[in-house]
Structure 1
């Protein structure tokens, strides 16, 4: 069992039927979801991006941490159960082990994205079209800072 599932044992659980929306792009819930079973489809602007099935999958973390709207829509693709935190950032502040795990998940995702973009940069270094802007994207990702 993943560490995320271990430390969230005892949290409120929510059940979702196929087609239920856990979070909609552009809305704010302040909730963090930890999927325990099932499958969810991630979509952006109505376009499917990926289906996730892994127990322990974290959902809603960017919106929660940035206190802004969700950047994707998450829809149950099968009967799905999730543990849910309520209370936004305050919940993470009062549960530092969970906050650290959320940070680790985000760091791993960013590491993967930077690696992918670096590969694209290498493959398309000579391009003058939109693929040629990968260098700018990498630079922006590497230098983003909090504005608070």
Structure 2
């Protein structure tokens, strides 16, 4: 069992039918969502970028950490159960284990993206497209985060 599920135990659980949106791209996101059971798809600009059925998968963390609207939509593919954490910043501030879980999740995503881009670079080596891949890799590896204004 995913240890993160123990951390979020006690938060409200919602049952969703197939086809319901958990998050919609560009909408405000004030909570952190966790898949308890079921299957969802992640859509960016109406293109499926992932299909997830792993219990403990987290949604809304990008918006939470970047301080902006939802960066993708998440829609159920089958009847699903989720839980949500309201006031997610306070929750993360009080739980180092939850922060570590989110950090590991994001690190896995970045690693997968880097491996994919390196593979694309190898496939197009010697072609004009390689400059674009170099720029993307450089940006991913060396981009400095924008400083958030203190409130």
Match of 2:77? 77
How many equivalent residue pairs?
A: 147
Structure 1 position 21, deviation (Å): 0.8
1:83-103 CA distances to partner (integer Å, 9 max, x unpaired)? 211113222112221011101
Match of 1:32? 32
**TM-score normalised by L of structure 2:** 0.90
Match of 1:116? 116
Structure 1 position 6, deviation (Å): 2.2
SS at match of 1:18: coil
Which consecutive residues of structure 1, in runs of 5 or more, have no partner in the other structure?
none
**TM-score normalised by L of structure 1:** 0.92
Which consecutive residues of structure 2, in runs of 5 or more, have no partner in the other structure?
none
Alignment of 1:60-75 (within 5 A): 60-75=60-75
Alignment of 1:128-139 (within 5 A): 128-129=128-129, 132-139=131-138
1:52-110 CA distances to partner (integer Å, 9 max, x unpaired)? 11111111110111111111111111111112111132221122210111011101110
Mean CA deviation greater in 135-144 or 90-99? 90-99
